[in-house]
Amino acid sequence: MRSFAGGMHGGDAMSVLLALASAFCNACAAVLQREANVSAPEGQRHGWRVVWYLLRQPLWLVGMAFVVGTLVFSVTALYFGSLAVVQPVLVTELVFVLAIRRWWRHEAIASRLWAAAAIIGGGLAAFLVIADPQEGHGSPSPGAWALALGSRALVLVVLLVLGLRGSPGRRAALLGCAAGLIWSVDAAFVKQATQVVSRSGWAALPTSWSFYAAITTGLLGTLVVQAAVHAGPLAASQAAILLTDPLMSILLGIELFGETVRSSPAALVGQAVALLAMSTGVVLLSWWTPSSQEAPVLGLP
C-alpha cells in the first residue's frame, strides 16, 4: 500500500472522502437542528412540547435526514478504512459548521475562527501524511477485547464520577471526555461489525454481538453527550468530545485491529506535534465561536 505522502491507496482515499461526507452531514444536521430549536416559541422549548414542535418543523426533519447520512457515511468509511484514519477526519465537522453558517446564514466569521479551522486542517493533514496509518489484519481476540473494554470501563467510571462535581466548565469537559471515550469504543464495535459483513455478508450481522454492542454504546454515548451539554459551556464539552474520540480511536485501532502508524522517533514526534496542532485548533475554535453561532453537539460517532 502506498503511503499518504506518496499518494493514497484507493481504500484510504475512499475512507477519507466518506469520513468527510459524514462530518459534513453532521455539521448540516447540527446547524439545521439548532435553527429549528431557537425558532421554537418561548413556551415550547422544554419537555414534550419542544419534541412535538420539532416533529412538525421541516428544518428539523431535514436535519434528521442528515443525521441518517452521518451514520451511513461513518459506518461505510470504517468498512473501507481504519479507525486511525476515519475518526480524526470527523473533527472537520467544526470547519464545515463555520462554512455552512457563512454560506447559508451569511454570518460574519471572525478571521481568528478561520485561522483555527486552518490549524485543524493542517494538523489533520500532517498527521495522516506523517503517520501513514495502515489497516491491520484479522479480528481482535476475546482476550484483547476484554483488556481493551475493561481498561476503558475503569477510565469511564472515573470520568463520570469526577464529572458529577466541580465548576460547570470542569463538569462539561470531564463528561465530554467520557462521551468521546464511549464514541471511540462504539467506533471499534462498528469496525468489528463491518468485518463480519465483509466475511459473511449482511445476513450475518443480526447474529453478531458487535452489532448489538454498537447500538448499546451509541445509546449510552448519546445520553452522556446530553449530560455534558447540560452540565456547562458547550465549548468545553464540544472540545472534549472532539479531542478524546479520535485520540482514543487511534489507540484502539492499534491495540485491537493491529493498525499501524510509522514508529520511528522522528515520525512519532511529528505525529505528536500534528495531533497537538489539531487539538489546539479544536480548542480555539470551540472557545472562540460566539454563542450565537454555536451548533449543538449531536452525539454521533
Instruction: Give SS3 for 217.
Output: helix
Torsion 69-216-51-42 (CA) sign = negative
Q: Note the pLDDT tens digit of each residue in 117-172.
A: 999 999 999 999 999 998 887 689 999 999 999 999 999 999 999 999 888 889 99
How confident is the model over 8-32, as a mean pLDDT? 84
Q: Show the cell assigned to 46.
A: 422544554
Q: Note the pLDDT tens digit of each residue in 172-204.
A: 999 999 999 999 999 999 999 999 998 888 888
Query: Is a pLDDT exceeding 70 seen at residue 14?
Result: yes
Q: What pLDDT is recorded for position 49?
A: 62
Q: What pLDDT is recorded for position 265?
A: 93
What is this structure's pTM?
0.85
Q: With pLDDT > 90 as the criterion, what percentage of the chain qualifies? A: 52
Q: Look at the block and give the residue holding cell 475554535.
A: 285
Query: Is a pLDDT exceeding 70 seen at residue 37?
Result: no
The closest of 261, 280, 253 to 77, measured between CA atoms, is 253
What's the chain's average pLDDT? 85
Q: Note the pLDDT tens digit of each residue in 61-73.
A: 888 899 899 999 9
Q: What pLDDT is recorded for position 144?
A: 94
- Per-position b or e across 216-244, b if 16+ CB within 10 A of its CB: ebbebbbebbbbbbebbbbbbbbbbbbbb
C-alpha to C-alpha distances, 141 to 148, 237, 249, 255, nearest whole angstrom: 11, 33, 18, 11
Q: Note the pLDDT tens digit of each residue in 57-109.
A: 787 788 889 989 999 999 999 999 899 999 999 999 889 988 888 887 777 88
Q: What pLDDT is recorded for position 288?
A: 83
E strands in 130-252: none
Query: Is a pLDDT exceeding 80 seen at residue 242?
Result: yes
Q: Show the cell assigned to 52.
A: 412535538
Q: What pLDDT is recorded for position 1?
A: 39
Whole-angstrom Cα distance, residue 171 to residue 239? 13
Q: Look at the block and give the residue holding cell 462530518.
A: 23
